[in-house]
Amino acid sequence: MVDAYVWGKVDRISPEAPVPIVSCVKRESRLGGAANVALNIKSLGASPILCSVIGEDEKGKEFLNLLTEIEEEQYGIVVSNKRRTTVKTRFISNNQHLIRVDEEDTHELADEIEAEFIDHIKSLIEKHEIHAIIFEDYDKGVITKNLIDEIVHLANSKAIPVAVDPKKRHYNDYKNVSLFKPNFKEFVEGSNLLLEKGDIHGLFDEAKKFQNEMGIKKLFITLSELGVFISNEKTYEHIPAVVRQIADVSGAGDTVISVAALCLATGMNARQIAAISNLAGGIVCEIPVVVPINKDQLLAESSKIIDKL
């Protein structure tokens, strides 16, 4: 998707309604959604292959141009005249996020496009040496149950770890994956639980049940101000949040799943995955726009805690 930004000044309230008038100073478009995950992976030194379906429209062309600007390959992208390219436009004044306007289609892919997309991803997995696969799910209809089943099965047959950042529609379809990363709200709603966020022992009890039912190796739950939780069924780790000056949480989840997947691919243990991903999510929240993680900053901050992990 495209993340569009409108920066402006607010000096008065509209006489037409009790809303601020934003005097536009600057506009900018950036890669968003799963493309932001790819940006994070690229910024950390790995080579992402971004796979998605975009619209055959002006915003789709803009999206491809943005990929070209960062020298990111486009061969994973399928263009369809049956969808709109998703655009999220954020209005910002004095580092404050005022409002967001979304333009999108969220219906699932038509059967022929779904089949084309699945075959396309399979061919990329066969042609390239893949170290990890990330499902960055935004409930926009591009990820379907058929796609999940077929790609996870292929990945497991090749011993490729699969990391998932889920949403509600397909929450219970991600079976037998390596790492599953909902936030706390998604976990309790997806599992129909009555659980307090601070009840870490209770969270572990429910995590074990969920992992056993779903065949998930590592359950990684973000707890916002309480940090992160990770379970491998037998043990769990709770990593507290690092105190920071939060400017914007947009894109933090993208950064966390990107770092977690790379840590997973390199064979790090659960505590290391959780702690380094937790740091990365906090770092990007200090910036009032969606940006990829800065590798040097993450390395510097990780080096201070690595001996404790």
**Per-chain mean pLDDT for the chain:** 90
Catalytic residues: 254
Cβ atoms of 53 and 117 within 8 Å: the answer is: yes
Dihedral of CA 135/138/142/146: which sign? positive
118 has pLDDT over 50: yes
In angstroms, rounded to a whole number, what is the distance separating the alpha carbons of residues 302 and 294? 12
pLDDT (0 to 100) of residue 248: 47
Q: What is the pLDDT of residues 204-226, one digit of tens each?
A: 999 999 999 999 999 999 998 88
Q: What is the dihedral of CA 245, 246, 247, 253, to 10 degrees?
A: 140
Kindly state the average pLDDT of the residues 74-95.
Answer: 93
Confidence tier at 286 by pLDDT (50, 70, 90): low
- What residue spans define the domains of the chain? 2-307
Digit-coded pLDDT (tens) for 123-157? 999 999 999 999 999 999 999 999 999 999 999 99
Domain 2-307 belongs to what architecture?
Answer: 3-Layer(aba) Sandwich (3.40)
Rounded to 5 degrees, φ, ψ at 16 are -85, -25
Where residue 304 falls among pLDDT bands split at 50, 70, 90? confident
Residue 280 has a pLDDT of 85
